């Protein structure tokens, strides 16, 4: 029986172990999930939602354990890990009620109505950077819609996912929510199995594999596939506010965030002042273990991710970038706060998603130049413009799913979390996003 070890990124010690699901295990889990789903779909929407809310209410006593596991498995400081776990638990009732509103039968005209019916078995394949929140954003609408769910968490954070599911299971119908563990092959086997939908958050490369694996069965897909978010700082921007945002966005979660600011383009007229502010702010950040006070940046999740960031920094150095703070090479487990100027289009820092605490900056001299460069990416998740007059006009020309002016992306109210280009297939959040977990049916009575 194969076993997956979860390693602490600080020292590579084993935090715990889980059993890897074989192909036969997955087939049996899917069969059980399908049986559970049929009964679940026969329950009223209101009854389903009430049962889900009551199940999440039982997670309260486990909040500290969940937060502790997040910190141990991926290095996030305990304060941020606590916020993540607390948000999942405390916002569950709202999330369920929000999804419930999306699946209400809607009158159209005369006696015609639109219904939202379950799809069947949904595979949720979730990432390690927000191991509870990202999984939960997909699990709740899937369950509310009347589907069963099989969660395949990242191999970097199996323990927190395992605890999360095990504490929910006794309060839900048997086999309605299950978890399977393993590396990429386990995820591929799950995608190829007799499921009806894959909801995934992760890399473009993994997304391509999932799309290929799902193609023979024409399985429904909702996939968020990362980003390489640009930030444009106009000549009339509030320079201090822009610098604060650039650093906070690039360094949050040690830079391991899909909407991290990856590329900063600053108007040449204000560049020197912007550099100074960025370095001043970035210098105040501290790396360290998850349980150490006043730590802003933890370790990267594993040594492979650490090496990818170092490789990008070395590439930038070799191609002429200047380091205003930090350097190109760091020993694991930390990447120190790093500020690079002289970003060019042939650098890996510009072309690839970094996922590390790096502020990479280039200068521009015209709007046409910066719009072209900001849009020159396979990604299109988010973008930010800092500026006064003309900022809205500039923002309108960016090819992304989410754009913000003088603030971070992610809209208020009933707005989806959505990427353009290769940053997304489908989307989630909002009524429209929730409804991707359902089959639309028109009924003429």
Range 224-235 burial, b when 16+ CB lie within 10 A, else e: bbbbbbbbbbbe
Average pLDDT rounded to a whole number, residues 355-359? 97
pLDDT of amino acid 1: 82
* Angstrom distance (rounded) from CA 217 to CA 194: 8
Asked whether the CA dihedral 156, 83, 248, 378 is positive or negative, the reply is positive
Task: For the chain, count helices (H), then strands (E).
Answer: 16, 20
Q: Residue 98, CB half-sphere, CA atoms under 13 Å: how many?
A: 19
Q: Angle of helix 23-41 relative to helix 184-192, nearest 10 degrees?
A: 50
Mean pLDDT of 221-238: 97
Give the model's pLDDT for residue 397.
98
Helical H segments across 169-238, by residue range:
184-192, 204-214
Mean pLDDT for all residues in the chain: 97
Confidence of residue 382 (pLDDT cuts 50, 70, 90): very high
Q: What value does the mean pLDDT take over residues 375-384? A: 98
SS3 86: helix
Determine the pLDDT at residue 324. 98
Each residue's pLDDT tens digit, 366-376: 999 999 999 99
Ramachandran angles phi, psi of 39, nearest 5°: -70, -40
Does residue 413 carry a pLDDT above 90?
A: no
Domain boundaries, the chain: 3-225+423-444, 229-405
Name the 3-class secondary structure at 92: helix
Q: Which residues contact 201 (CB under 8 A, 6 or more apart)?
A: 125, 126, 127, 134, 138, 223, 224, 258
In terms of C-beta density within 10 A (0-12 exposed, 13-18 middle, 19 or more buried), how is residue 396 classed?
Answer: exposed
Helix (H) or strand (E) holding 432: helix 430-434
CATH tag for 3-225+423-444 (out of 3.40.605.10, 3.40.50.1110, 3.30.70.980, 3.90.1300.10): 3.40.605.10
- Provide the β-strand partners of residue 265: 232, 362
pTM for this entry: 0.96
Per 3-state DSSP, the chain is made up of helix, strand and coil in percentages (nearest 5) of: 45, 20, 35
**Alpha carbon distance 161, 332 (integer Å):** 25
Residue 412, pLDDT above cutoff 90: no
Instruction: Confirm if 176 and 37 have CB atoms less than 8 A apart.
Output: yes
Strand partners, 197: 122, 220
Q: Which CATH superfamily is domain 229-405 in?
A: Aldehyde Dehydrogenase; Chain A, domain 2 (3.40.309.10)
Q: Grade residue 69 by pLDDT with cuts at 50, 70 and 90.
A: very high
Q: What is the pLDDT of residue 314?
A: 98
pLDDT at 325 over 90: yes
Statement: residue 337 has pLDDT above 90: yes
CA–CA dist 162, 167 (Å, integer)? 9
Residue 411 pLDDT level (bands cut at 50, 70, 90): confident
What's the rounded mean pLDDT across residues 31-46?
98
Cα–Cα distance for residue pair 144/154, rounded to 1 Å = 23
DSSP string covering 108-170 = EETTEEEEEEE-SEEEEE--SSSTTHHHHHHHHHHHHTT-EEEEE--TTSHHHHHHHHHHHGG
Over its C-alpha atoms, the chain yields an Rg (Å, rounded) of: 22
**Cα distance between residue 144 and residue 45, in whole Å:** 7
Q: Give mean pLDDT, residues 268-291.
A: 97
pLDDT surpasses 90 at 285 = yes
């Amino acid at each position: 029986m194969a076993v997956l070890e979860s390693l602490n990124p600080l020292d590579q010690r084993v935090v715990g172990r889980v059993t890897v699901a074989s192909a036969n295990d997955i087939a049996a889990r899917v069969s059980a999930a399908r049986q559970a789903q049929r009964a679940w779909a026969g329950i009223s929407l209101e009854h389903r939602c009430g049962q889900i809310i009551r199940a999440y209410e039982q997670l309260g006593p486990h909040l500290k354990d969940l937060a502790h596991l997040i910190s141990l498995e991926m290095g996030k400081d305990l304060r941020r890990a606590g916020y993540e776990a607390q948000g999942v638990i405390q916002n569950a009732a709202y999330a369920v009620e929000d999804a419930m509103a999306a699946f209400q039968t809607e009158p159209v005209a005369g006696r015609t109505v639109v219904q939202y019916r379950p799809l069947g078995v949904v595979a949720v394949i979730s990432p390690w950077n927000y191991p509870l929140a990202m999984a939960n954003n997909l699990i709740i609408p899937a369950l509310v819609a009347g589907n069963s769910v099989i969660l395949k968490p990242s191999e970097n954070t199996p323990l927190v996912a395992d605890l999360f599911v095990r504490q929910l299971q006794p309060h839900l119908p048997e086999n309605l929510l299950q978890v399977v563990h393993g590396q990429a092959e386990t995820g591929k086997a799950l995608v190829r199995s007799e499921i009806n939908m894959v909801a995934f958050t992760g890399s473009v490369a993994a997304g391509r594999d999932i799309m290929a694996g799902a193609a023979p069965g024409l399985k429904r897909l909702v996939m968020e596939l990362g980003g390489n978010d640009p930030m444009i700082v106009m000549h009339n921007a509030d320079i201090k506010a822009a610098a604060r945002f650039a650093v906070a966005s690039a360094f949050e979660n040690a830079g391991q965030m899909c909407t991290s600011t990856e590329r900063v383009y600053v108007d040449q007229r204000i560049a020197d002042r912007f550099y100074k502010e960025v370095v001043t702010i970035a210098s105040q950040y501290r790396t360290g273990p998850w349980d150490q006070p006043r730590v802003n940046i933890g370790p990267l999740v594993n040594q492979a991710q650490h090496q990818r960031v170092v490789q990008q920094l070395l590439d930038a150095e070799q191609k002429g970038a200047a380091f205003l703070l930090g350097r190109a090479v760091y020993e694991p487990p930390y990447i120190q706060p790093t500020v690079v100027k002289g970003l060019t289009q042939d650098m890996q820092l510009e072309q690839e998603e970094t996922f590390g605490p790096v502020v990479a900056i280039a200068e521009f001299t015209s709007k046409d130049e910066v719009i072209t460069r900001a849009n020159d990416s396979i990604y299109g998740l988010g973008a930010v413009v800092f500026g006064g007059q003309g900022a809205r006009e500039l923002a309108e020309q960016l090819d992304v799913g989410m754009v913000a002016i003088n603030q971070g992306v992610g809209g208020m109210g009933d707005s989806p979390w959505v990427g353009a280009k290769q940053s997304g297939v489908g989307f989630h959040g909002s009524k429209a996003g929730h409804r991707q977990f359902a089959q639309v049916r028109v009924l003429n009575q």
